[in-house]
Chain A
Amino acid sequence: MSTHHVENIPAIIGKMVRLEQQLGAAYPGIKLRWARIYGRRWSHLLGEVHDPTAVPMKLQINNEYGVIIEKHEILAMEDVENIVGLLKGEFGE
């Protein structure tokens, strides 16, 4: 985990772990990676690439955080909208 650069890291990581469990239960099969956004750079925070041959989905939560979803093919558009809504609610717009 590359967390040297994130302030208040235990709370942020705790939240990410909780959300990963929550979303994993709601949409079995999806895999999440989390990133801290610095301009164009999305710095790795938590998670790993499970299948580098898969085409991931990249969602920007707000100006600070983003999430990359593997196995997003199982999600309907409505599911994606629900996930974005949940994450924005947790992290702020």
Chain B
Amino acid sequence: MLAAVAKWRDNVIKPEENEPFLNKGRDFINDSLIENLLAVNQHPDPVRIREIMAKALELNRLELDEAAVLLNCEDEELWEEMYRTGLQIKHKVYGRRIVTFAPLYVSNYCVNNCTYCGYRAENKHIHRTQLSKEELEAEIRALVNLGHKRLIMVYGEHPKSDVDYIAETIKVAYATKEGNGEIRRVNVNAAPLKIADYKVLRDVGIGTYQVFQETYHHHTYQQVHRSIKADYRWRLYSLHRAMEAGIDDVGIGALFGLYDWKFEVMGLLAHTIDLESKFGGVGPHTISFPRLQPAVNTPFAEQSPYLVDDSTFKKLVTVIRLCVPYTGMIITARERAEVRNEVVNVGCTQLDASSNIGVGTYSQKEVDYSKQQFILGDTRTLDETIRDLAEMGWITSFCTADYRCGRTGECFMGIAKKGKIHNLCMPNAILTFKEYLLDYASPETVRAGEPLIEKELQALPNPEVRRVVREMLDRIEAGERDLFL
């Protein structure tokens, strides 16, 4: 490790901030326990599987042994039942809406050397760049002009993209307006931070903070990570520290393909359980499950022995849905369109669209693999994605109301766990979808989308809410924007 990086690392990692969260000095991933649970629950009884499905359908979070039972299911007919249950859960909690966002890569400088990642420091085939204020404004305007309202801003781990840089870029994102549009919620995917740094991001009003553990398996983690990211616990407890700092919406994730998929699903559940136990029942706001994808000059990404095929991917997404019925689930454009259309129907709640993951490439309207962390599978435009979803019966939502109405953390979870958040999601989906159709949609998408608005409006259970939403729709037609419940 270069001396400068080592010095910087010492100022970033504060192991003492993890200590209050440890369980008698140990972290919450017990590899042996997970492996044992997977081993002893092989060839599960169908009766037991159906009992667990019923528990999930009642919106109860599963325990690790129950997850192991589902993961070991070998009966394809039972898997079909699980797919249907996943969809039922999704409808029950969130309704027939899919939240849509765009990723915005802000800086691809990185000190790490993760074997699987195109941005690893030693990859000389990557063109390194970081957005200036003016370049960032151009990117935001390009995204707003597509119709986006929600971003996940992504940063490599590097002194150039420290917390002050991240905070400044978030302020720019919120301040940049274009026509009727603006970015209303900025989520962040960046490196683990110390508590004081999380407070800086809290104060600029971020949405969700995401840190993916990549792999929960200790040994594999050490094998594929070098430099600052090699500190397993610093990453594992990053979101505990974020919550401690007051960022009460956090997103967890695992990168499928680094280790056994069943182990990783158990890891995600163990992470959820530990957050809930330490923060009064508040676990992750979202769970992500990216699959390893090809990247420039990164052979590991195509040679890992743990790559997950499409059929297995659908199963793992389904089990995550059943394990944590009330949490948002994100399926990204890493996946091909047909895969996304398939797994949306087992319980995903959010997806990105029109994604361009090179740094600075939205405004340039180009695709440049040399600026990308990996290669995308779904390159549909936002308009095409929305139309496809509409034809499948899903209404696209650009809703950002919850975090602007105090429905965060414990409050949000309280509503979601009771299966009542759809009472807010669906009206806000209708309102934001209407804005999109008026301001950005193609005539074909308007034709596909307008009937959905009327259908979902009629389906709202509370007549007073229906009246208020109809009144708001009229105001949107008349030119007002950003109306929400």
A interface residues, Cβ below 8 angstroms from B: 1-2, 4-6, 33-36, 38-45, 47-49, 52-56, 58, 66, 68
Contact = CB atoms under 8 A, between A and B. Distances in A.
B244 interface: yes
B282 interface: yes
Nearest to B402: A42
A49 B411 contact: yes
Given A49-B414, A52-B421, A42 B246 contact: no
Interface string B226-246: 000000000000000001111
A55 B340 CA distance: 34
B174 interface: yes
Contacts of B206: 41
A44 to B, nearest CB: 4
26 contacts: A1-B280, A2-B408, A4-B246, A5-B199, A5-B246, A5-B248, A33-B411, A35-B406, A38-B202, A38-B246, A40-B404, A41-B206, A41-B207, A41-B403, A41-B408, A43-B246, A43-B403, A44-B410, A44-B412, A49-B407, A49-B414, A52-B423, A53-B420, A53-B423, A53-B462, A56-B405
B270 interface: no
Given A2-B411, A5-B244, A53-B461, 12 more contacts: A4-B244, A5-B199, A5-B248, A35-B406, A36-B246, A38-B205, A40-B174, A40-B404, A48-B411, A49-B411, A52-B423, A68-B406
A34 B410 CA distance: 12
Contacts of A55: 464-465, 468, 485
Rank and list the top 9 A-B pairs by shortest CB-CB distance, nearest first: A5-B246, A39-B205, A35-B406, A44-B411, A53-B462, A41-B205, A52-B423, A42-B406, A40-B205
Contact of A39 (B204, B245, B280, B406): B204
Interface of B: 174, 184-185, 199, 202-207, 243-246, 248, 279-280, 282, 403-412, 414-415, 420-421, 423-424, 461-462, 464-465, 468, 485
Contacts of B405: 35, 42, 56, 58, 68
Given A2-B410, A5-B199, A53-B423, A42 B403 contact: yes
Contacts of A68: 405-406
A40 B406 contact: no
A35 B421 CA distance: 18
Nearest to A3: B246
A5 B414 contact: no
Residue from A38, A40, A41 whose CB has the most chain B CB atoms within 10 Å:
A41
B49 to A, nearest CB: 32
A52 B404 CA distance: 15
Nearest to B185: A40
B432 to A, nearest CB: 15
A2 B204 contact: no
A36 to B, nearest CB: 8
Given A38-B204, A40-B404, A52 B410 contact: no
Nearest to B246: A5
A39 B174 contact: yes
Contacts of B245: 4-5
A36 B462 CA distance: 29
A7 to B, nearest CB: 10
Contacts of B184: 40
B403 A40 contact: yes
A87 B199 CA distance: 26
Given A39-B205, A56-B485, A44 B406 contact: yes
A16 to B, nearest CB: 12
Nearest to A35: B406
B372 to A, nearest CB: 29
Nearest to B206: A41
Nearest to A67: B406
